[in-house]
Homo-oligomer: A and B are copies of this chain.
Amino acid sequence: MKSATVLFRSSRAVAFALGALLCLGLEVHAQTDPLPSWNDGPAKQAIVAFVQATTDQSSMKFVPPAERIATFDQDGTLWVEQPMYSQVMYCLERVPALVKAKPELAKVEPFKTVMSGNREAMARLSFKDLMKILAATLTGMTVDEFQVQVANWTTTAKHPRFDRLYTELIYQPMLEVMHYLRDNGYKTYIVTGGGQDFVRVYAERVYGIPPEQVVGTAGGTKYGYDKTGKPILTKEPRLLLNDDKAGKPEGIHLMIGRRPHAAFGNSDGDRQMLEYTGAGDGARLMMLVLHDDAKREYAYGPAQGLPNSKVGTFTQALYDEAKAKGWIVISMKNDWNRIFAFE
Contact = CB atoms under 8 A, between A and B. Distances in A.
Interface of A: 22-23, 25, 66, 143, 187, 196-197, 200, 204, 210-212, 214, 218, 220-223, 230-231, 233, 240-241, 246-247, 249-250, 253-258, 272, 275-276, 279
Nearest to A247: B223
Given A231-B279, A240-B240, A254-B240, A223 B246 contact: yes
15 contacts: A23-B23, A211-B257, A212-B255, A212-B256, A212-B258, A218-B254, A220-B250, A221-B253, A222-B246, A223-B247, A223-B249, A223-B276, A231-B275, A231-B279, A233-B253
Each complex incorporates copies of this chain amounting to: 2
Nearest to A66: B210
A200 B241 contact: no
A231 B147 CA distance: 36
A272 B230 CA distance: 11
B223 A257 contact: no
Given A223-B250, A233-B249, A233-B250, A211 B256 contact: yes
Contacts of A204: 66
Given A223-B250, A233-B250, A249-B231, A257 B212 contact: yes
The 10 closest A-B pairs by CB, nearest first: A211-B257, A23-B23, A223-B246, A231-B279, A212-B256, A231-B275, A231-B276, A200-B257, A223-B249, A221-B250
A233 B247 CA distance: 11
A158 to B, nearest CB: 27
Contacts of A25: 25
Contacts of A272: 223, 231
Nearest to A236: B250
Nearest to A24: B23
A222 B251 CA distance: 10
A230 B325 CA distance: 12
A200 to B, nearest CB: 5
Contacts of A275: 231
A201 B287 CA distance: 30
Contact of A241 (B187, B214, B230, B240): B240
A263 B121 CA distance: 50
A191 to B, nearest CB: 13
B212 A253 contact: no
